[in-house]
Amino acid sequence: MEETYGIEISMLDWMTMGVPLSAIMLIGTWVILTKFVFPVHFVASYETRNHLRSSLNELGPVSKDEKKVLVIFALAVLAWMTRSFLVNIEILSGLTDAGIAIIAAILLFMIPSSKDGDILKWEKSKDLPWGLLLLFGGGLSLAAQISSTGLGLWIGNSLLALQNVPDLILILAVATLIIFLTEITSNVTTTATFLPVFGGIAVAIGVLPVSLTIPVCLAASCAFMLPVATPPNAIVYGSNKFTIATMMRAGIFLNILGILVVTIFSYYVSPLIFTT
């Protein structure tokens, strides 16, 4: 957004909208799942409570290394939230969100562990799913090409008829399309592909690019019907506790909730935060 449209979205701006949206989705999901889709009509037994208590005791107290990681993570989040102020300091003028993440990672490699060596060891970090970086990089490259070649703007100009559609209806349509499309495609690929497209449409019909790109970003993470929709879906389905049919039965209601929440936040809240 910053490179293409000159609109910088800080971590604090994103959290200002994302945290309340996530809280509403969490509460709504709990109500839908426990009150309607899978009604809960029992009280946890003594055995259940005892098992949970035993499992908690097995974890033991928070270790020194865990506290160190928590402090570094908290400082990184704080730096992300306050980066717009930190860059006013001369020595930090070139600080970026990526730079903050790299500094935090370097600290984990440097700070000694209370057991042996450093908190983060290469033997552990080399097993990270590095393929995800290629996935993200490929998606961002695709988005850059759609913008730089003018394809996104061309598509936008081809859909000038949409300027007669009320903004609320247009945002609702975007959220619905992205949520159900993400059920069968990678959310990274979907976002990278459609951000420049809907950004071009927004420019063509004379509205702020964030009006249509924000719902794309938010909706891409609100698909709940199929395991392939998002990585968390795949992890949950991998537990082998339920079938795809069960997941779809619950997911369709969560998708509808996501469409409504994303539409409302994109239409009413995002203009208050992203005004330029």
For 38-55, give the DSSP string: S-------HHHHHHHHHH
- Report the predicted TM-score, pTM, of the whole model to 2 decimal places: 0.77
Spell out the per-residue pLDDT of the chain, length 276, in tens.
666 666 677 788 888 999 999 999 999 999 999 999 988 777 777 788 888 889 888 888 888 999 999 999 999 999 998 988 898 998 988 998 889 999 999 999 999 888 877 788 887 777 776 766 776 677 667 767 776 787 766 766 776 677 788 999 999 999 998 999 888 877 777 887 888 888 888 887 888 888 899 999 999 999 899 887 887 887 788 778 888 899 999 999 999 999 999 999 999 999 888 865
Domain region containing 182: 1-9+130-276
Instruction: Please check whether residue 34 lies inside any domain of the structure.
Output: no
pLDDT, position 148: 78
Instruction: Please check whether residue 108 lies inside any domain of the structure.
Output: no
Instruction: Please check whether residue 63 lies inside any domain of the structure.
Output: no
Instruction: Please check whether residue 264 lies inside any domain of the structure.
Output: yes
Q: Total domain count for the chain?
A: 1
Instruction: Please check whether residue 144 lies inside any domain of the structure.
Output: yes
Question: Which long-range contacts (C-beta less than 8 Å, at least 24 apart) are formed by 26-30?
Answer: 28/257, 28/261, 29/254, 29/257
Instruction: Please check whether residue 213 lies inside any domain of the structure.
Output: yes
Quick one: how far is CA 225 from the chain centroid?
A: 17
Instruction: Please check whether residue 217 lies inside any domain of the structure.
Output: yes
Token pair for 267: 């239409």
Q: Phi and psi at residue 118, in whole multiples of 5°?
A: -105, 165
Q: Which of 194, 213, 158, 168 is nearest to 7 (CA)?
A: 213
Token pair for 255: 């998708």
d(CA 222, CA 235): 15
Which residue carries 């070649």 as its tokens? Answer: 149
Instruction: Please check whether residue 40 lies inside any domain of the structure.
Output: no
